[in-house]
Amino acid sequence: MGRANRANVMTVDRLQRPWNSPGLKDSRKKDRVILEYGKSMGSWLQVKKHLPWLKRCKPYFAHNSEEHLLRKGLKKIGFQITTIDGRHFNCEKDLLKSLGQALGFPSYFGINWDAYDECIFDLADSGIYKNIALIWTNADSLLERNLHEFVGAVHLLLATARELSGLEDPFQMEIFFLGNGEAFRNPALNPFH
């Protein structure tokens, strides 16, 4: 069942996700309630506490040169790390193909956002991952080639991660966007750049 069907009284636009509101019933599992994002959960890994050098709020951006430091910190606090390289992404379909491969989606993955949502929720239900960090390196390539699709992809990835956090058995997915441009550089790590 598609996520749009979860809130049967609402129509859902591709970029507007009303089912993220606290208190909506999740029809995939009877009597589940989507929790408000950011609630304290016992097994939740606190990214900002352990990686204070990251920019203050989501989305998390970092420079490609900081990947090793990011990877080391995420591994230390218990994240399972998945990486996609956006160097050759020209459109969101390229991103979705890479996500499907990196996350081990089935061969019938439809390479669209609805199929991504279904597969990522199936992955969350499978228990294979508990706390996953998705590192998107060279994210600035899609940003430069197609600003609209980059912004849409960032929004949809973060919205899905937020919804996953509200499951009865919360699934933590943190997303990190890395690039080479000055906007990705973290002055706290290298104030002389």
Q: Sketch the domain layout of the chain as residue ranges.
A: 40-184
pLDDT at residue number 140: 96
Question: Percent of the chain having pLDDT more than 90?
Answer: 55
Q: Is the pLDDT of residue 191 over 70?
A: no
Class of CATH domain 40-184: alpha beta
Is the preceding peptide bond at 187 cis, omega within 30 degrees of 0?
no
Is the preceding peptide bond at 59 cis, omega within 30 degrees of 0?
yes
Does pTM top 0.95 for this prediction?
no
Question: Percent of the chain having pLDDT more than 70?
Answer: 73
- pLDDT category of residue 179 using cuts at 50, 70 and 90: very high
Residue 162 tokens read as: 């937020």
User: Phi-psi region for residue 68, left (φ > 0), alpha (ψ -120 to 50) or beta?
Assistant: alpha
